Amino acid sequence: MDSIKELLNTFDGEIYNLCYKLLIENENNAEVFQYVCENFTGKPKNKTQIIKNHFSQSEIYEYESIYGDIVKGILSNTIKKCDFGMISADEFYKTLWQAYCLNFISDNEKAFAFYYTVVDRKIPYRYLRTPLSMEDDIYENMVKANKSYIDRIEYLLRGSGFRQKTEVVSLILCCLDSVVNFDAKVVILAQALDSYTKSKTDDLTKLLIKRVFELERKMDGVYNSGTKKEETKKEEIKKELADYYDASGTPDTISEIDDTIIKKYPFPTKYHDNEKSNYEFILLKRNDKILLSDQGKTFKMLDQIFELTELDVMKNLKKIQDEYKIQGERRELFIEIINWDVNSNENENEELNEAIYRMFSCVSFMDSMRIFYT
């Protein structure tokens, strides 16, 4: 494994292309898979071995959309089998790789499963012991019986004024030491950690709110003092946005406009489960231009969440769109691909790959605004 260790410490390229190289050169070797999973720590600083590109970023988005949930399901099931003693910890990676080989046929699919596992936060796997399971009613009764301990630990976790982590942890351990029953200790810590996790989610929500407010302030900057001229400017902006988000000119199908489809890119997100099967970005030719378009599907879905005619909603969505340099009209989002060669491989077009990333980021950010309106 010395050569693989050297490669992990010096490779220059994308992780998914590294996994493909390792898969091909080592002929689906489960031991290599295990070694990489156990020893990979991220991209190295000393990059001396260039990895040849096999996948493009857009292809990885497609594979994630199609196979991502399958890989996660196989990984989670294998972890559960190991945790509950159905397979030994020594056989974990061998069993996992065998499951991938049974479910995926091509080298590309196996390489994606390899990559998706390596970057998963549950890897490298650590077997500790068989975990404690508990019925809901028993759990709820134990929460009520130990509320005072839970309150103390929640207080320590959410910020009690202690500067050092050792101070906080030592007091948590003291609380738990005063509880005799092991199951009760588990419930106390589980409930306290759940509250702590929710508080972190609230912090993330606050960051999103701050970000939206920052975008809104930038847009509001042109008419803050309340003069007649600035009020007129405000009305002009409102009208412009209202026209922009007017759905009357949005085509319902691609046949309504003279487009030629070049390729479809499924959108790999769980935000839109109700339309996940047909939500995609389209690379198309319109007149003499090459565009990456959502064909109006984003705002069709957002219209079910927001009142798109409200000024603050329109401003925030438009500013997010501008932030990612996304063009659009009549609710259609698109990016023009300038450097396009009809004879070239679209997967090797860096401008296209970057456009797919911008479109993905823009739509994800727009969708995250639902937490402020629902």
Give the pLDDT of residue 36. Answer: 95
> 251 with 323: CB under 8 angstroms?
no
Torsion of CA 223, 227, 228, 231, to 10 degrees: 20
pLDDT in tens, 59-86: 888 888 889 889 999 999 999 999 888 9
Burial class (CB in 10 A: 0-12, 13-18, 19+), 225: exposed
Q: If you count them, how many residues does the chain have?
A: 374
295: left (phi over 0), alpha (psi -120 to 50) or beta: left
Give the pLDDT of residue 154. Answer: 84
Vertex 273, ends 61 and 124: CA angle to 5°? 50
With a CB cutoff of 8 Å and minimum separation 6, the contacts of 135 are none
Nearest to 251 by CA among 274, 289, 282, 276: 282
Give the pLDDT of residue 332. Answer: 85
Give the pLDDT of residue 278. Answer: 57
Nearest to 118 by CA among 152, 143, 93, 88: 93
Neighbours of 264 (CB within 10 A): 13
Nearest to 281 by CA among 268, 262, 266, 269: 266
Burial state string for 59-83 with b = 16 or more CB within 10 A and e = fewer than 16? bbbbbbbebbebbeebbeebbebbb
- In eight-state DSSP terms, residue 255 is G
Chain centroid to CA 98: how far?
27
Task: Name residues of the chain where pLDDT drops below 70.
Answer: 160, 196, 198-258, 267-278, 305-312, 342-348, 370-374
Give the pLDDT of residue 64. Answer: 87
How far, in Å, are 13, 56, 218, 305 from residue 348 at the CA level? 14, 7, 36, 36
Structure tokens at 284: 């198309």
Give the pLDDT of residue 275. Answer: 43
pTM above 0.85, yes or no: no
pLDDT in tens, 84-94: 889 999 999 99
pLDDT in tens, 255-284: 455 678 888 877 654 444 444 445 788 888
Nearest to 355 by CA among 325, 320, 319: 325
Structure tokens at 294: 């959502």
With a CB cutoff of 8 Å and minimum separation 6, the contacts of 310 are none
- In eight-state DSSP terms, residue 50 is E
Listed in sequence order, the DSSP H helices in the chain are 2-10, 15-25, 30-39, 57-83, 92-103, 107-118, 136-145, 147-159, 165-177, 182-220, 228-244, 297-302, 311-323, 350-368, 370-373
